[in-house]
Amino acid sequence: MKSTGIVRKVDELGRIVLPIEMRRTLDIAEKDTLEVYVEGDSIILRKYQDACVFCDSVRDLVSYKGRCVCQDCIAMLSRKI
């Protein structure tokens, strides 16, 4: 993990502010969704990206009943039916 040298305080509502320079560098826009991970005693924020519910692919996704399914899994499922 790379240190940025940036230190922020958590406010009374549990929020922190990501500096604009960091958001620009990581292409995080206002209203973007971030995933929160915990690894040991570290908190990791990652920009959320939809993925196939079956294989975690992020290519050629189709939304079905609020879930993402890739074209490869659709083809595989249609062959099994």
**How does residue 79 score in pLDDT terms, banded at 50, 70 and 90?**
confident
CATH 2.10.260.10 residue ranges in the chain?
8-48
Predicted local confidence at residue 1, as pLDDT? 75
Q: Architecture of domain 8-48 in CATH?
A: Ribbon (2.10)
User: Whole-angstrom Cα distance, residue 69 to residue 73?
Assistant: 7
Average pLDDT (53-77) is 92
Average pLDDT (63-67) is 88
Predicted local confidence at residue 81, as pLDDT? 63
Average pLDDT (7-27) is 94
Q: Which residue has tokens 């305080």? A: 9
Predicted local confidence at residue 80, as pLDDT? 73
User: Whole-angstrom Cα distance, residue 52 to residue 69?
Assistant: 4
Average pLDDT (62-75) is 92
